[in-house]
Amino acid sequence: MTRSNLSVTPRTATGNGPNRRLRAGGTLPAVVYTKGKPPVAVNADPKAIVAHLKGPLGRNGSIDLTIEGEATPRMAIVQEYTVHPWKRTLEHVDFWEITPETVLTITVPFGPTGKSEAEKVGGKVRFTRDDLVVRCKAADVPAKINFDMATLPAGDHNITVSKVPMPSGVTPFFKHDFSVIQVYMAKSAADAAAEEAAKPVVKDAKKPAAKGAAPAAKAAAAPAAKKK
């Protein structure tokens, strides 16, 4: 696992006014949080943060965070960040110090690879999620979780999150075992015809005779008029 390297400097002035001045000068206000220790307010390089967030692991990637005045870098991740509502520039970043043994709960992209047998004959596939919440240590963070569709034989399938193979050291995190992939086989012409033939036949209701019209049977039975 490759970690990003980031150097930051401590700051004493905090609050909206000082933070606005920092951003106007091209510096990003940030805070480093550590369990059991007071938070440390720092100044960071926004370009370095953006480069880290655009890396292969995004915000899930770990950082060697060097705080000016400290001899040893801290291992950290980006816990939260905010952006300007329309400029879309970084406004603030929160770092969370971790250790190699810290178990992280993170959101990872999720998607398919290959084609299932059902798709090859015209079947349909529906993915209900494009990301999954997982738990793992920093060294095991995956860039993406892929599901190999080629492993599915022909037929209908409902794949739940517990059935998705996970990389080594990674476990899915969920309360209820929800569906993530649904596969539907295409109906053959024979199946469609059989289904149509199995439908019940609905007969048309008899139409009532027009008012004033004598039934044909009675008309035929009426005697001919006698000649005088």
Per-residue pLDDT of the chain (228 residues; tens, 9 = 90+): 678 999 999 999 889 999 999 999 999 999 999 999 999 999 999 999 999 999 999 999 999 999 999 999 999 999 999 999 999 999 999 999 999 999 999 999 999 999 999 999 888 999 999 999 999 999 999 999 999 999 999 899 999 999 999 999 999 999 999 999 999 988 764 465 556 666 776 665 555 555 554 444 444 444 454 444
Q: Residue 192: CB partners within 8 Å, gap ≥ 6?
A: none
Rg, C-alpha atoms of the chain: 35
Does residue 24 form part of some domain? Answer: yes
Q: Residue 100: CB partners within 8 Å, gap ≥ 6?
A: 75, 137, 138, 139
Whether residue 71 is found in the same domain as residue 121: no
Give the CATH number of the domain where residue 145 resides.
2.170.120.20
pLDDT at 202: 63
Whether residue 90 is found in the same domain as residue 113: no
Token representation of residue 108: 């990872």
For residues 163 and 104, give the distance between their C-alpha atoms in angstroms, rounded to a whole number: 21
Whether residue 14 is found in the same domain as residue 77: yes
Whether residue 109 is found in the same domain as residue 165: yes
Token representation of residue 133: 């919440």
Does residue 197 form part of some domain? Answer: no
Whether residue 92 is found in the same domain as residue 8: yes
Range of 170's domain? Answer: 104-190
Q: Provide φ and ψ at 57, rounded to 5°.
A: -105, -5
Give the CATH number of the domain where residue 68 resides.
2.40.240.10
pLDDT at 215: 47
pLDDT at 54: 95
Nearest to 57 by CA among 108, 22, 19: 108
Whether residue 88 is found in the same domain as residue 137: no
Q: Domains in the chain: how many in total?
A: 2
pLDDT at 200: 75
Whether residue 91 is found in the same domain as residue 116: no
Does residue 224 form part of some domain? Answer: no
